[in-house]
Structure 1
Amino acid sequence: MTVVRKLLLACCFACSLASAATPYVLDDTEVRDVHAGALNRNYQVFVALPDSYRSSNRRYPVVFVVDANYAFPVARGIAQRLAKHAGLEEAIVVGLSYAKGDSPVYSRRRDYTPSMPRGQYVSDMPGRSAAFGEAQAYGRFIAADVFPLIAAHYRADMSRKIFVGHSYGSLLGLQVLLSEPATFDHYILGSPSLWFDQGVMFDREQAYANGHKDMPASVFFGIGGRETLPANRKRSRTEENADMVADLCDFDAALKTHRYPNLKSRLEVFADEDHASVFPLVLTHGLRAYLKKVK
């Protein structure tokens, strides 16, 4: 091989290395493995630290967001912008991932829903039956395994915990709210799938009211104005014929009728937004409803 040819090959190799694509990594983020002992499953938590974390000694409120594959980078970005440009408190953002070895659909159906729905459901994972109804157990996993992990490794103010969910993720939040409301101090619940299992969460709301005189929690509900039912369809609590705006208004009204002394709830309907587009607005307004303005 001639010297010229060797030089050409070396140049080509150097160019290929220089142009090789590398993964994009979010600044000030970490990934930690966590074992859910009671569930016998493994998850990951994604952690985003505030800009001032490395240079301060203070503790920060913590935002726990489910459906982390999508919602974690969105929540991180919005929390940072609100701190930088709207003067709100900085916060640690924790993303709760899907179970290792499960598809996102399989994991969230099982972990975020409150019951086994009536009807036939097909699993998206070959060889495994469809799974639902483990929201209560998953909520206990967050409190028993995730909270201690975050408290042990970060300067987290664990007296100020915020839950963020959307759609099925909001069903999980409602399950926690209606079983152990003090688990979180503030709930941001977007477009909850209240049609699920023929409106089972309405029954659970009434069951909670029958056994409790108070609900110590702050709740921000948000939904897109387009999440309604066309005029030519008859409303029912099924996925196909749900009026999600009307369902959420009914649920919020039911909570308010009990006049719980320590419940603060607010509902916002965002015009011209649908189920796919509304989450960033719900999150933004939900954080504004809780995080303080920094003087």
Structure 2
Amino acid sequence: MKLCSTWWLAGCLGLTLIFSACSKETFEKSRLKEFNLTSTANGGNYDIKVALPENYSPAKGYRTLYVLDAKLDFEFTALECEKQARDRHRDGVLVVGIGWGHDRLDDYTPTPSNIGSGGADKFVEFIEAELIPRIESEFHAVPSRAGRGILGHSAGGLLVGHSFTNHNSVFGHYLCLSPSFWYDDAIVLRNEMAYRERNREGSGSFFLALGELEEKMRPPFVGFRGTLQAYYPHYILRDYITPGKGHLDSKKTNIKRALSFFFENI
């Protein structure tokens, strides 16, 4: 059953509004590295940002968080990761922001539709085969699944869920915010079932979050949460619903909670 009308779905997925943080704090430019990477997997040209942690040293190995929709969420996430590390008196992480190499709906959707072209598999191939090796070689990222996390909101959350079901060997930690799991009649739930036996013995962590007012997003969210609870005993799971908030105004609160969870489990 369709969970909401096509125009509403496209509106949710296609939002590209940029909301500035309440704080005027910005990430220290000397620790921000930027480069461009053209993918041989899908032909996209991606602007990549890497936020180095405080007291970064090439002699160390660093865990990494890959952030989708970098134009919208990279700086806020990088600053919050820095705060989490400082408050916990521990080493920080590399925060890698992935810009838009195609329309985001083409890269983040797992199957083709009138909303997106279904390029998620090729996009994850780009991350795994092209971006991760460069981050590991140039920035001393820990070369293991357990050392990598991925964060995404809305259509980005859909891509996080798809990474878990269809490409589970890439990331060990999943931060999945207001995910558009309604896409293609909840294809992510069907994929979870299809790949369950392969994935269920793995381990890691999974954070799911939603705004309380996102009623049309809730049914597949609840369904996916239930499958994680029932079939993935070696994963640390947590979910959170932000009281009184909707799709966009819940995002910053849920990013903060997701990153707190991430730092607790890496």
Same fold (TM over 0.5): yes
Match 2:83 to one of 81, 85, 89: 81
Partners of 2:69 and 2:99 within 8 A in 1 = yes
Whole-angstrom CA distance in 2 between matches of 1:247 and 1:98? 26
Q: Which amino acid aligns with 1:269?
A: I
Partner of 1:273, secondary structure, is coil
Partner of 1:157, secondary structure, is coil
Matched, 1:279 2:264: no
Deviations 1:52-93 (A, max 9, x none): 115x73222111000000111111111111122344541111
Offset of 1:182 from its aligned partner?
2.6
Structure 1 residues 167 and 216, CA gap change in structure 2 (3 angstroms): same
Using structure 2 for the length normalisation, give the TM-score. 0.82
Match 2:105 to one of 105, 109, 120: 109
Whole-angstrom CA distance in 1 between matches of 2:78 and 2:199? 35
Q: Which amino acid aligns with 1:254?
A: T
Whole-angstrom CA distance in 2 between matches of 1:132 and 1:200? 14
Matched, 1:48 2:51: yes
2:203 counterpart residue number = 216
Partners of 2:50 and 2:97 within 8 A in 1 = yes
1:195 counterpart residue number = 182
2:218 counterpart residue number = 245
Offset of 1:31 from its aligned partner?
0.7
Q: Which amino acid aligns with 1:81?
A: K
Partners of 1:89 and 1:292 within 8 A in 2 = no
Unaligned runs of 5+ residues in structure 2 are 1-25
Partner of 1:136, secondary structure, is helix
Partners of 1:88 and 1:293 within 8 A in 2 = no
Match 2:41 to one of 38, 42, 50: 38
Offset of 1:246 from its aligned partner?
3.2
Partner of 1:281, secondary structure, is helix
Matched, 1:145 2:130: yes
Q: Which amino acid aligns with 2:121?
A: Q
Matched, 1:267 2:236: no
Structure 1 residues 271 and 177, CA gap change in structure 2 (3 angstroms): same
Partner of 1:272, secondary structure, is coil
CA RMSD of aligned residues (A): 2.2
2:71 counterpart residue number = 69
2:171 counterpart residue number = 184
Deviations 1:4-54 (A, max 9, x none): xxxxxxxxxxxxxxxxxxxx9852101111121121222121011111115
Q: Which amino acid aligns with 2:262?
A: Y
1:227 counterpart residue number = 214
Q: Which amino acid aligns with 1:71?
A: D
Partners of 1:113 and 1:168 within 8 A in 2 = yes
Deviations 1:153-206 (A, max 9, x none): 112223311100111001111111111213111000001001111222121122
Matched, 1:154 2:139: yes
Partners of 2:41 and 2:123 within 8 A in 1 = no
Offset of 1:291 from its aligned partner?
1.6
Offset of 1:212 from its aligned partner?
5.3
Partner of 2:226, secondary structure, is helix
Partners of 1:205 and 1:255 within 8 A in 2 = no
Identity of aligned residues (%): 25
Matched, 1:134 2:134: no
Partners of 1:193 and 1:244 within 8 A in 2 = yes
Match 2:99 to one of 97, 100, 113: 97
Structure 1 residues 38 and 89, CA gap change in structure 2 (3 angstroms): same
Alignment length, in residue pairs? 238
Using structure 1 for the length normalisation, give the TM-score. 0.74
2:13 counterpart residue number = none
Offset of 1:266 from its aligned partner?
1.6
